[in-house]
């Protein structure tokens, strides 16, 4: 059954379906959850990551664990939309932190691997000092 032909459920019917999920795959319930909340989840991920493909990856990393373990959601603690948006925010922030750390590691490696060519540094010491100062300033500014 596609998302367009899925029956539209009331909030109480959706809550009942989610209770029946409890460790089992229920295509209708997941389709309805995605239909209701997928746009908001994708929008939040896109706003945080500013990259469509990364946002799509985050949406998958939110829905797949929800599909596999729907019993982790507790309706008494809050709304499903809030739960999914919190999961999205956490996954997106984790991805941002991982990408930032990766970029810093790469910059540190490239900065450390930059060794002066002795012939250049002997011929034009002022020019080499300016190049190193500029490189360091660019590296330190990030």
Task: Give the tens place of pLDDT for each residue, 84-123.
Answer: 999 999 999 999 999 998 888 887 776 655 555 555 555 5
pLDDT of residue 46: 97
Confidence band for 142, pLDDT divided at 50, 70 and 90: very low
Cβ atoms of 62 and 84 closer than 8 Å: yes
Give the residue with greater pLDDT, 16 vs 116. 16
3-state secondary structure of 40: helix
Contacts of 134 (CB under 8 A, 6+ apart): none
Instruction: Dump pLDDT digits (tens) for 37-78.
Output: 999 999 999 999 999 999 999 999 999 988 888 778 877 888
Confidence band for 17, pLDDT divided at 50, 70 and 90: low
Is the full-model pTM beyond 0.85?
no
Cβ atoms of 15 and 75 closer than 8 Å: yes
Cβ atoms of 61 and 89 closer than 8 Å: no
Length of the chain: 142
CA-CA distances (angstroms) from residue 37 to 34, 83, 108? 5, 11, 40
Give the residue with greater pLDDT, 113 vs 31. 31
């Amino acid at each position: 059954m596609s998302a367009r032909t899925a029956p539209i459920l009331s909030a109480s019917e959706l809550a009942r379906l989610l209770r029946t999920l409890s460790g089992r795959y229920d295509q209708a319930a997941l389709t309805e959850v995605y239909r209701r909340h997928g746009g908001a989840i994708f929008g939040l991920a896109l706003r945080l990551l500013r990259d469509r493909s990364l946002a799509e990856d985050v949406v998958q990393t939110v829905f797949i664990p929800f599909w596999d373990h729907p019993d982790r959601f507790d309706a008494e603690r809050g709304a499903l939309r809030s739960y999914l948006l919190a999961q999205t925010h956490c996954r997106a922030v984790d991805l941002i932190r991982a990408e930032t750390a990766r970029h810093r590691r790469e910059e540190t490696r490239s900065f450390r691997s930059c060794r002066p060519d002795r012939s250049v540094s002997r011929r034009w010491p002022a020019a080499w000092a300016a190049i190193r100062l500029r490189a360091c300033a660019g590296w330190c500014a990030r």
